[in-house]
Amino acid sequence: MAPIGKSLVFAGIAIVVVGLLLWGFSSVPLIGKLPGDIYIRRGNFTFYFPLATCILISIIATILLSLTTRH
């Protein structure tokens, strides 16, 4: 049971860290408003998909993970 408990604690910490990062990134001016983000507003309906923001975050995460996991 100890490995499961350890995994749950680390998963909880990771969720908190991601939540804090998302909360902190809400004040960054360009995040979520890049030219490739999809934003459609029609009457009462609004659709928003941050495509360019997701790609940018994915590239940054890939670079950081590859730098930290090199052997």
Check if the beta carbon of residue 9 is closer than 8 Å to that of residue 1. no
pLDDT score of 40 more than 80? yes
Q: What is the mean pLDDT of residues 49-58?
A: 88
Average pLDDT over residues 6-12: 90
Q: How far is CA 33 from CA 2, 14, 61, in A?
A: 44, 26, 19
CA atoms of 55 and 60, how far apart (whole Å): 9
Report the pLDDT value the prediction gives residue 71, as an integer from 0 to 100. Answer: 60
Mean pLDDT for all residues in the chain = 85
- pLDDT top residue among 33 and 38: 38
pLDDT for the residue numbered 26 = 67
User: From CA 23, how far away is CA 38, in angstroms rounded?
Assistant: 21
pLDDT of residue 64: 86
Nearest to 22 by CA among 50, 48, 47: 50
